[in-house]
Chain A
Amino acid sequence: MPDLQSLGDNLQVGLEHYLTLSVMLFSIGTLGVIFRRNVLVMFMSVELMLTSVNISLVAFSRYLDDLNGHVLVLFVLAVAAAEAGVGLAILVEIFKKRDTVDVDEFRQLME
């Protein structure tokens, strides 16, 4: 990882920067999923993880000069949108029944 000093000297943004961002976003997303109990926040964290993947895809796509990465990002976006739609719909139904969005209260899957 390049140190911040040289980053300031030379504002050339390269593959490493994108990947670093991606890793950070992914880690934040993961930690969010693990530690937050609010389902909505967990959802957002999942979206964050997807976005981080998208960033790395685009970065590699540019770096390798290969359009496939771009195409894949579009697919991920579409799927993420669909997933969010379905997930939120389920969430609304659960909230109507249980009056809570605390994920620790949802343990019926255990049985």
Chain B
Amino acid sequence: MHESTEILRWIVALPLIGAALNGFLNRRLPEAVVSAIGIGSVAVSFGLALKAFFLLRALPAEGRILHDFVYQWIPVGDLQVDVGFTLDPLSGAMLLLVTGVGLLIHIYSSGYMHSDGGFGRYFAYLNLFVFSMLILITADNLLLLFVGWEGVGLCSYLLIGFWFHEIANSAAGKKAFIVNRIGDFGFLIGIFVIVRALMGHVDEGANILAFSTMAEHADLLAPVATLAGLLLFVGATGKSAQIPLFVWLPDAMAGPTPVSALIHAATMVTAGVYMMARMSFLYDLTPVALSVVAVVGALTALFAATIGLAQTDIKKVLAYSTVSQLGYMFLACGVGAYGVGIFHVLTHAFFKALLFLGAGSVIHGMHHEQDMRQMGGLRKYMPLTFMTMMAATLAIAGIFPFAGFFSKDEILYKAWLQSPALWLVGFLAAGLTAFYMARLMAMTFFGECRAPDETKRHLHESPWSMVGPLVVLGILSLVGGWMGWPEFLGGSNAIHHWFAPVFEHGAAHGVAATEVVHLVEGGAAEGGHSVALEWTLAFLSLGWAALGLFGGFFVYLKRPDLPGRAQQWVSGIPHRLIENKYFVDEIYDAVIVWPIHRLSETFLWRVVDAGIIDGLMVNGVGRFVGLVGQLLRLVQNGLLRWYAYSFATGVLVIVIYVARHYTG
């Protein structure tokens, strides 16, 4: 398009260069240089991303798209895949998010990981992650998106098991990787389904997996839309930790805390939501898949929130909170409000990254103690951490005018338009969110300090490299939602208009698409201006969130005996269920892992591997050759005249044969 679109490839490539430098040279570089390379590459990338973003904004709203074709990647017969990057309003927003929050977290990491033995390795992985994430976001076709998708999965695995000296950490890494593989399998089959539907029906030489081509030929996709949509969503449930594949995310907290903030809160886990928004032209064709997505999202939001109520590890609470918030995003996508889902991705990235970084700051100050029962009263020692985390808590609870209010409220509003039942589930989860966050804050920052004296003496505020990003994110947690200031409150909902061109494709193409879009947005159209409804819902959720917050603080500060008495009152069973995460891990172990283990051991190992492969095939071939050798040995008797005789006979036979064959 322009010569200036080449900027896109540099935005993507810079973190890769940083990763290569740090990865190959890290043992020879001092910490200062490693962090300069790591932070610098992302910082320049962020700068270029800003520039690209403003280039994009300068274009008219209809034609807001920048495309950078790099090279032809796979030219195989009818299948053409390029490496190319696209910037449109959707990827532009995500680009700024990933590079921006990524930059803050890189800066934070330089303080958090200070004097860790794997400092260089850490930054190499982190840069590699940013690179993969940028590929995922800016890819102009589904296959390249999948490359990024796998890349972030790999980096997630590497960083969860970063402290691999402890077996539990590497086990958590493996779990994350394997659970993600299950999802990715679905994703891959989804891609195959789409390729099969389009191959041969689109013009010769067209790049059939490019998003623009797929959107243009959405009518061809209509017959397989439900299947493909659900399969891609299977991938999303793995990557974005939805029921039933959410089990890896809480374990992923074994990694360093900035990693949890960047990968397992702000960016990677939202890849599923981004993918759905990117493929919205497909999902618009299939109300069935959308309903499944909405229901799974809403259930995940509620389910994870209840688990979050009873965790004592500060990072585990946040992890379940992330699962729950991701559920909201899928709920939004499932009711067809992709833009709102992405809006929540953005605001959630601000406040959840902040919560994790704040928790990291606390953990840093507490000398790697993560149990909230050992904390308390930290407000005095870490005032900045406390204040910023308070902002994030208000944001996630959905208190006006913090960021979470705008996005969550809009999601709940859209859910109500689709189905009040979905709204109710999300609404319940919102109250629980406020409650467990209040519990977290109360146990960590208020009351008496329960830490041992030794730790208490060393309690201190974290260094500036860590507090700085907290402050920036704290401000973003406050103002970040204002870009979606709803119209009924006198705002302009700028982000809605920003995203609008990306999601307005259904009406333009295909008959089926049009119908479905009307179906999905029909409610919105008729109730879209029902200001009274919006006010009511907003007040309801605000009051409910405030009640949750108040309840949490009240119970855990004034009446710490209440949870115990409540447990006694209901004889402890619900509490045990929640505390043990509904035994989901145990159920998966019993239903899936254990049978596979048994099958592997008794059948695959003993029968197939030891019996057939080793016994019959490998040793069988050996034994057969040995047997033939034994027979041939009889011929080799050492009698020279016998050899001469056989030789002469052989020659004679051949001569006779040849003579008869060629002369007869």
Interface residues of A (CB under 8 A from B): 30, 33-37, 42, 103-104, 106-111
State the Cβ distance, A33 to closest chain B Cβ, in Å: 5
* Pairwise interchain contact A103-B640, C-beta atoms closer than 8 A: yes
Of all chain B residues, the one with the shortest Cβ separation from A104 is B639
Interface 1/0 per residue, B631-652 and A, CB below 8 Å: 0000011111100110010000
Q: Are B638 and A103 in contact (CB under 8 A)?
A: no
Interface size class of B (residues with CB under 8 A): under 10
B residues near A42, Cβ cutoff 8 Å: 640-641
B637 and A104 within 8 A (CB): no
Pick from A34, A108, A110: contact of B641, CB under 8 Å = A34
For B638, list chain A residues within 8 Å (CB).
Answer: 106-111
Additional 17 contacts, C-beta under 8 A, given A108-B638, A110-B637, A110-B638: A30-B644, A30-B648, A33-B644, A34-B644, A37-B641, A42-B640, A42-B641, A103-B640, A103-B641, A104-B640, A104-B641, A106-B638, A107-B637, A107-B638, A107-B639, A109-B640, A111-B638
Nearest neighbor of A45 in chain B, beta-carbon distance: B644
- Bound-state Cα–Cα, A5 to B637, Å: 48
**A33-B641 in contact (CB<8A):** yes
Task: Give the docked Cα–Cα distance between A107 and B638 (Å).
Answer: 5
CA distance A30 to B643 in the complex (A): 12
Say whether B639 contacts A34, CB under 8 Å.
no
When C-beta atoms are compared, the residue in chain B nearest to A111 turns out to be B638
**A35 & B641 in contact (Cβ 8 Å cutoff):** yes
Residues of B within 8 A of A33 (CB): 641, 644, 648
Please name the residue on chain B nearest to A106 by beta carbon. Answer: B640
A34 to B645, CA, bound (A): 6
A35 to B636, CA, bound (A): 18
Q: Which residue of A lies closest to B633 (CB)?
A: A110
- Shortest B652–chain A CB gap in Å is 9
Taking CB atoms and an 8 Å cut-off, the chain B residues in 608-664 that contact chain A are 636-641, 644-645, 648
Complex-state Cα separation, A111 to B648, whole angstroms: 23
What is the bound-complex CA distance between A109 and B641, given in angstroms?
Answer: 13
In the complex, what's the smallest C-beta–C-beta distance from B659 to chain A, in angstroms? 14
B577 vs chain A, min Cβ distance (A): 77
B643's closest neighbor in chain A, by CB? A109
Total A-B contacts with CB atoms under 8 angstroms apart: 32
Instruction: Decide if B636 touches A110 in the complex (CB within 8 Å).
Output: yes
Between-chain CB contacts (< 8 Å), 24 pairs: A30-B644, A33-B648, A34-B641, A34-B644, A34-B645, A34-B648, A35-B641, A37-B641, A42-B640, A42-B641, A103-B639, A103-B640, A103-B641, A104-B639, A104-B640, A106-B640, A107-B637, A107-B638, A107-B639, A108-B638, A109-B638, A109-B640, A110-B637, A110-B638
Residues of B within 8 A of A108 (CB): 638
How far apart are the CA atoms of A42 and B648 in the complex, in Å? 14
Binary per-residue interface labels of chain B (353-365) against chain A in the complex, 1 for a CB within 8 Å, 0 otherwise: 0000000000000
Q: Provide the residues of chain B in CB contact with A103, threshold 8 Å.
A: 639-641
| Distance between Cα atoms of A103 and B644 in the complex (Å) | 12
CB-based nearest B residue for A30? B648
Closest chain-A Cβ to B581's Cβ sits at a distance in Å of: 72
Measured CB to CB, the nearest residue on chain A to B646 is: A34
Would you give the 0/1 interface string for B48-70, flagging 1 where the beta carbon is closer than 8 Å to chain A? 00000000000000000000000
Q: In the complex, A35→B640 CA distance in Å?
A: 11
Most buried by B among A30, A34, A106, A107: A34
Give CA–CA (A35, B648) in the complex, Å.
12
A53 vs B645: C-alpha distance when bound (angstroms): 19
Which residue of chain A has the shortest Cβ distance to B637 in the bound complex? A110
Report Cα–Cα, A42/B645, bound state, in Å.
13
Min Cβ gap B548→A in Å is: 91
CB distance from B395 to the nearest CB of A (A): 88
Please, how many angstroms separate the alpha-carbon atoms of A103 and B639 in the complex?
Answer: 8
A30 vs B649: C-alpha distance when bound (angstroms):
10
Q: CB-CB < 8 A to B648: which residues of A? A: 30, 33-34
A39 vs chain B, min Cβ distance (A): 8
Q: Enumerate chain A residues within 8 angstroms of B644, measured Cβ to Cβ.
A: 30, 33-34
Contacts of A34 in B (CB 8 A): 641, 644-645, 648
Neighbouring B residues of A110 by C-beta, 8 Å: 636-638
CB distance from A59 to the nearest CB of B (A): 19
Distance of A33 Cα from B641 Cα, bound (Å): 7
Q: Would you give the shortest CB distance from B93 to chain A, in whole angstroms?
A: 83
The complex places the Cα of A34 from the Cα of B650 at a distance, in Å, of: 13
Q: How far is the CB of B15 from chain A (nearest CB, A)?
A: 69
Q: Mark B110-132, 1 if CB is under 8 A from A, else 0.
A: 00000000000000000000000
**Docked complex Cα distance between A107 and B641 (Å):** 11
Chain B nearest CB from A1 CB (Å) reads 16
User: A104–B641 Cα gap in the complex (Å)?
Assistant: 8
Interchain CA distance A108-B638 in the complex, whole Å: 7
In angstroms, Cα B636 to Cα A59, docked, is 38
A80, chain B: closest CB distance, angstroms? 17
The answer for the CA separation of A103 and B637 in the assembled complex, in Å, is 13
Closest 7 CB pairs of A and B: A110-B638, A107-B638, A33-B644, A34-B645, A103-B640, A109-B638, A34-B644
Q: Which residues from chain A contact B637 at a C-beta distance below 8 Å?
A: 107, 110
**Bound Cα distance A75, B641 (Å):** 27
Q: Which of B19-44 contact A (CB under 8 A)?
A: none
Nearest opposing residue in chain A for B651, CB measure: A30
Q: What residues on B are CB-neighbors of A109 within 8 Å? A: 638, 640
A36 contacts which chain B residues (CB < 8 A)?
641
- Min C-beta distance of B654 to chain A, whole Å: 15
Residues in A with CB closer than 8 Å to B636 are 110
> Complex: how many Å from CA A93 to CA B216?
92
Cα A33 to Cα B636 with chains together (Å): 18
Q: Which residues of A contact B639 (CB under 8 A)?
A: 103-104, 107
Q: A110: nearest residue on chain B (CB-CB)?
A: B638
A108 to B639 alpha-carbon distance, docked (Å): 9
Instruction: Tell me, rounded to whole Å, the shortest Cβ–Cβ distance linking A38 to chain B.
Output: 11
Interchain CA distance A104-B644 in the complex, whole Å = 12
Residue in B closest to A39 when the chains form the complex, CB atoms: B640
A35 contact set on B, CB distance < 8 A: 641
Complex alpha-carbon distance, A35 and B641, angstroms: 7
> B648: nearest residue on chain A (CB-CB)?
A30
Q: Which residue of the partner chain B has the closest CB to A37?
A: B641
B595 to chain A, nearest CB (A): 56
